Amino acid sequence: MKDLPQRLSGKFIVLDGPDGAGKSTQLSMLAEFLRGQSVDVIVARDPGGTAVGDRIRAILLDRVHEEMSVRCELMLYMASRAQLADQVLRPALAAGRCVLCDRYVSATIAYQGAGGIDAAMIRQVAEVAVGGSTASSPQSGLWPDLTIILDIPSEEGLSRSGKGGGKDRMESKALEFHRKVRESFLHQASESPEKFAVVDASGDVEQVQRRLRRVLMAFCRRGAENAEIKKE
């Protein structure tokens, strides 16, 4: 697609999904591919991606904080996200760059939702963190143009995430929790098919990458139409 740089200019693409789906690997591969197509890409991660956010991320994932409540989790994730949005995401998008982000609000809806917080409440807090303008901060809401869910059965994902070292605080939660997380991701995608796509994350990394690229190309071809992007 010769006009790919123009089609992805100023676009905000999020890669999300259950633990062990391979998001970081796939995001890195996708960014490399797009740069080879002359797309100006910036890669971000959530939580983290800033000096403030990286400190919050360390607190969130450290297993020493097992007593942390789900409401505390929610606020910390949103605090990191607010800093990322203001310091990294908005400037990059305003400059016409394509932003690829490892997780976003969809992850909080899935994980803290699985912990018992209502999805509508999570969205309300997200509106404060990254949403509409205020008197002192007149920016527009910062929401993804496309969220791609890398889907994998919970058992397989946890098996993958357990290789090569210890699990972090979220990965170490019970299987039933992770099943709820996966269900939430798929539910979000079914609710907003014009903004979400689901990619099968099973198989080797090259197979998954090909599926991911097909979904992204379909998004680019879609243009201004609000057509559903089919599951890969």
171 versus 137: which is more confidently predicted? 171
180 within a domain of the structure (yes/no)? yes
Q: How many helices (H) and strands (E) does the chain have?
A: 10, 5
Q: Which residue has the higher pLDDT, 198 or 64?
A: 198
Provide the CATH number for the domain around residue 119.
3.40.50.300
pLDDT of residue 227: 44
39-48, 176-185, 222-231: which has the minimum mean pLDDT? Answer: 222-231
Q: Residue 229 domain-assigned? A: no
Query: pLDDT-derived band of residue 34, with 50, 70 and 90 as boundaries?
Result: very high
CB burial readout 33-61, b (16+ within 10 A) else e: ebeeeebebbbbbbbbbbeebeebbebbb
In the prediction, which pLDDT does 138 show?
Answer: 47
How large is the C-alpha radius of gyration of the chain?
Answer: 17
pLDDT (mean) for 10-35: 96
Q: Is residue 199 part of a domain?
A: yes
- Please determine, for residue 225, whether its predicted confidence score (pLDDT) is greater than 70: no
Region 21-33 average pLDDT: 96
Pairing of strands 146-151, 196-200: parallel
pLDDT at 11 over 80: yes
HSE (side-chain half, CA atoms, 13 Å) at 121: 10
Give the range of the structural domain holding residue 157, as residue numbers without chain letter: 4-221
Whether residue 129 is predicted with pLDDT greater than 80 in this model: the reply is yes
Strand spans (E) along the chain: 12-16, 41-45, 98-102, 146-151, 196-200
Q: How far is it, in rounded angstroms, from Cα 146 to Cα 137?
A: 24
Q: Does the residue 228 lie in any domain?
A: no
% of the chain surpassing 90 pLDDT: 77
* pLDDT at residue 13, rounded to an integer: 97
Instruction: Supply the pLDDT for residue 226.
Output: 42
Close Cβ partners of 19 (under 8 Å, ≥ 6 residues apart): 157, 158, 161, 170, 171, 178, 181
Sheet containing strand 12-16, strands side by side: 41-45, 98-102, 12-16, 146-151, 196-200
Indicate the number of domains in the chain: 1
Backbone dihedral angles phi then psi of residue 135, each to the nearest 5 degrees:
-60, -40
Percentage of residues in the chain having pLDDT higher than 70: 89
Question: Is the CB of residue 23 less than 8 Å from the CB of residue 103?
Answer: yes
Q: What is the pTM of this model?
A: 0.90
Contact in structure between 23 and 147 (CB atoms under 8 Å): no
CB 73 within 8 A of CB 35: no
Asked if residue 95 is part of any domain, the answer here is yes
13 in a structural domain: yes
With a cut of 90, say whether residue 172 has pLDDT above it.
no
pLDDT at position 136: 47
For tokens 């990458």, what's the residue? 209
Average pLDDT over residues 116-145: 81
Within a domain: 193: yes
Is the confidence at residue 102, as pLDDT, over 80?
yes
> Do the domain assignments include residue 12?
yes
